[in-house]
Amino acid sequence: MLEENPLKRETRRHFFSRCGMGLGRVALASLLTDGALWSASQTAVAAGPLAPKPPHFPPRIDHVIYLFMAGGPSHLELFDYKPKLQELDAQPTPDSVLKGKRFAFMDTFSKEKPKLLGTRRKFQRYGKNGLYFSELLPHTASIADELTVIHGVNTENFNHGPAKCFANTGSFRFGRPSMGAWITYGVGSPSQELPGFVVLQSGPRGPRGGAALWASGFLPTVYQGVPFRSTGDPILDLSRPQGVTERAQKQTLETIRELNLARLAETGDSEIATRIAAYEMAYRMQTSGPELIDFSKESRETLEMYGVEAGQASFANNCLLAARLVERGVRFVQLYHTDWDHHADLSQPLDDVCREVDRPSMALVKDLKRRGLLDRTLVIWGGEFGRTPMGEAREEGKIGRNHHIDSFSLWMAGGGLPAGQAIGASDELGFSPLDRPIETHDLHATILHLLGLDHTKLTFRFQGRDFRLTDIKGHVLRELTG
């Protein structure tokens, strides 16, 4: 693909500033003393690139909290109960099921076929409509009537890195804008004191793919996710340096702002507007940041509901922080929790990770409802793919499951969704969607729709092509939007 001709983007300021130092300086001086131009630059910067923007149509929600379980949670141990799979436990997987399929760490071409694996977990029905949850998620099950469970979701790559990238950016290729970046680009953020897109991490390590999962790609960098810590300063080096007075800092920032405004007027570079916004946001956050992570004003009941431990970085702390971020107007909050990759052992390791997220996930939904925020906030819980109905024996005496992309499950809450219901279904083995698959692009299109954005119109021209989060695919799930 040919790159867009940079001359087409040339502005009058670019032209004069590049036509020799003498002429450039004269022209630039004239432009900078042009009251209308200078005023327009200041007005644009004052509003900020993250200022709220009108959506394409009235939105159902104002905020999104995405609880991303990195590693691929097993739907067959959590939400998707399959009595037939229990009945066929330890039997060879039928050729008709495996035909044409590939798996990350499983040979389907050998004479010895992988064996089906029924779950060792007990399932029960919960809520008015009898949604299935396993014994691993008792707290989540207790809010069944607030949840919409989605079955039969599929994706297109069985490796963690590309699959996480696809779930977060709509592309396997690193370098595309993340969903949070597209959303803040599309509708901005109501918050004046905090970034529009915040990232929180927990677990033993960061997710595979790292910062690329919350990057802005070819969008201006102001729209990228900002990683926060749940203890100390939310962002490192946020506090005013020792020995620097507030007045000295403010004067320094004002001088830097004027220099940046002059450069912005000269070049029209959107990254300069990003730089100005970042300086000003950091200055405001010196007050708002410490207050944000100070849980001392939260009730004992709230802290106990989440399972928060003071001074500890945890998924529980991050869930409470997510509620507080949304309460303060942040548009998109994403929580990454790792260690869901259970190839070798579906027993104690799965118990442990479920225990870490079950109670806080429940508490987040209940707390948002209590704060009057759930109706206008969409909460999503899920990973990059699911797990195979076949077992995987890597260690003697233990068994796990391989990566599975054809059908998996997740849940959503809030935003006026059909609560207490299951949408979509998988076959009797939990291998394939029963009817039409729900694709990742469909989920992205639906989330944008709930925010008042038409996914086919939210585009950005780059290298001569209009890109969008859903690429050339995606259908809004009317079962969710009404």
Q: What are residue 195's phi and psi, to 5 degrees?
A: -60, 160
Task: Quote the mean pLDDT of the chain.
Answer: 85
How far apart (Å, rounded) are the C-alpha atoms in residues 17 and 23? Answer: 7
Q: Count the neighbouring beta carbons within 10 Å of the beta carbon of residue 286.
A: 14
Per-residue confidence (pLDDT) for residue 204, from 0 to 100: 72
Give the rounded percent of residues in the chain with a pLDDT score beyond 70: 79
Question: Which residue type sits at 185?
Answer: Y
- Model confidence at 2, pLDDT cuts 50, 70, 90, reads very low
Distance CA 171, CA 255 (A): 41
Q: What is the pLDDT of residue 4?
A: 44
* Residue matched to tokens 């994403």: 334
pLDDT over 50 (residue 41)? no
CATH 3.40.720 in the chain: give the residue spans.
Answer: 63-232+293-481
- Bridge-partner residues for 466, per DSSP? 461
CB 409 within 8 A of CB 80: yes
Q: What is the DSSP-derived secondary structure letter of residue 89?
A: T
**pLDDT above 90 (res 72):** yes
Question: Among 208-217, 253-262, 306-315, whose mean pLDDT is lowest?
Answer: 253-262
203 vs 401 pLDDT, higher one? 401
| pLDDT value at residue 282 | 63
* 36-40, 109-113, 343-347, 464-468: least confidently modelled range: 36-40
Residue 428, token pair as written in the block: 């009797």
Strand segments (E) across 297-436: 332-337, 377-382, 386-392, 400-404, 408-414, 421-423
Cα of 105 vs its chain's centroid, Å:
27
pLDDT band at 1 (very low <50, low <70, confident <90, very high): very low
pLDDT digits (tens, 9 = 90+) for 109-148: 555 678 999 999 999 999 999 999 999 999 999 999 999 9
Whole-number Å distance between alpha carbons of 147 and 422: 9
Fold of 63-232+293-481: Alkaline Phosphatase, subunit A (3.40.720)
Beta strand pairing call for 123-126 and 131-134: antiparallel
Structure tokens at 195: 């970034």
Query: If you average pLDDT over residues 399-409, what whole number do you get?
Result: 94
Q: Note the helical H segments in 74-209.
A: 75-78, 83-87, 95-98, 138-141, 160-169, 179-187
Q: Taking residues 282-290, what's their average pLDDT?
A: 61
Q: What type of residue sits at position 414? A: G
Is the pLDDT at 247 greater than 60? The verdict is yes
Q: Length of the chain, please?
A: 482
| Contact criterion met (CB below 8 Å) for 447 and 64 | yes
Q: What pLDDT sits at residue 147?
A: 98
